Amino acid sequence: MRKTTGNIVGQFFGGLHCYLRRCIFAILSVGPVPSHIAFIMDGNRRYAKKKNMEEGDGHKAGFEVLTSILRYCYELGVKYVTVYAFSIDNFKRKSKEVKSLMELMRKKIEELLEQESLINEYGVRLHFIGDMQLLTEPVRAAAERATRVTAHNNQRVLLICVAYTSRHEIVHAVQECSKEKFNEIQTLKEEKVTNGAFSRIDQGLKGNDFGLLSQDSCKEYRNAIKACSTEVESAARNDGLYENNIENHIDNDTEAETTLYNGLVELTKERKDIQDEVPFIKLADIEKNMYMAVAPDPDILIRSSGEARLSNFLLWQTTTCPLYAPTALWPEIGLRHLIWAVLNFQRHYFYLEKKKKQS
């Protein structure tokens, strides 16, 4: 009897809490609602130590909180949520702890795909952000399956950063850009070789040790030839050797000199045209190859435990993003922290939008 009464009371307060939450979200929705919120889930181990829990239980409690926070975000209308689940630096921890975290991650990924999970309830598409090759095979297989199964969902998006750091992401993007541009240059060179331009430059300049880069260089070469011709003429006059046959030779040399000069100018212009066509790495190229290219930049970054550090997380994407750092550890984060973060975002919304346009 008491158990039944307790269940009824629990259901009543649970329903009341849900109703009040929806009312609060309806009020918040009058103002600008963030499109993307990112979370640094810090403090799981400290929470376990604080509560005298066994090793690993803090992360389990943190996952339960994550489920609640995701539900709150999606109810509010936030489309993109990013969570920092596992850093590349975390691999430096004890092997036993890393193995335990990998196994917990695999189980939680599989739980997300269950029929009654919020992934299916809200039509959430999963993206795993980071270097997947650093993960264990079971975790990587579970992540690939989750990505594949949810690929058709388009209402909400959950980005889980695993084996991730922002520096690694930037290096990866630059490497991919370099590969793309190298392939473009190779294709361009092949086209020019086909048209005969590269073969003329390479054989005409490099083969004869001419490193001429501009028309000014050609003029300098011509002036040097003239100076040399003047010295030869002077020496010939002094030696009494300046006769008609010498004049004929000089005339021939002048004609050859002009021909060579015109040819070098033509080749230099062609090389300039080729240099203008060479593709360079641009900002848009790097952003296109970022792991986080699948989502817009975050509007709010929330880090638990009171730490005001980014810890190598989304350094590229958070240049105009406000940081909210409540002192609560991650398993202690609740609805009130999310509401406060959104209110702060709305209060500074127009200022933040102005900064985005200026950047």
Closest C-alpha to 108, from 72, 142, 74, 151: 142
Q: Burial, 27: exposed, middle or buried (Cβ in 10 Å; 0-12, 13-18, 19+)?
A: exposed
Nearest one of 334, 195, 216 to 274, comparing CA atoms: 195
CA distances from 69 to 75, 108, 148, 322 (A): 10, 15, 24, 19
Strands 80-87 and 124-129, by their bridges, are: unpaired
Length of the chain (residues): 359
d(CA 2, CA 6): 6
What does 114-158 look like in DSSP terms, one character per residue?
Answer: STTSHHHHTTEEEEEES-GGGS-HHHHHHHHHHHHHTTT--SEEE
What is the Cβ-side half-sphere exposure of residue 151, based on CA atoms within 13 angstroms? 6
Which residues are catalytic, by number? 42
CA distance 85 to 78: 19
Tell me the two tokens of residue 38: 């990112």
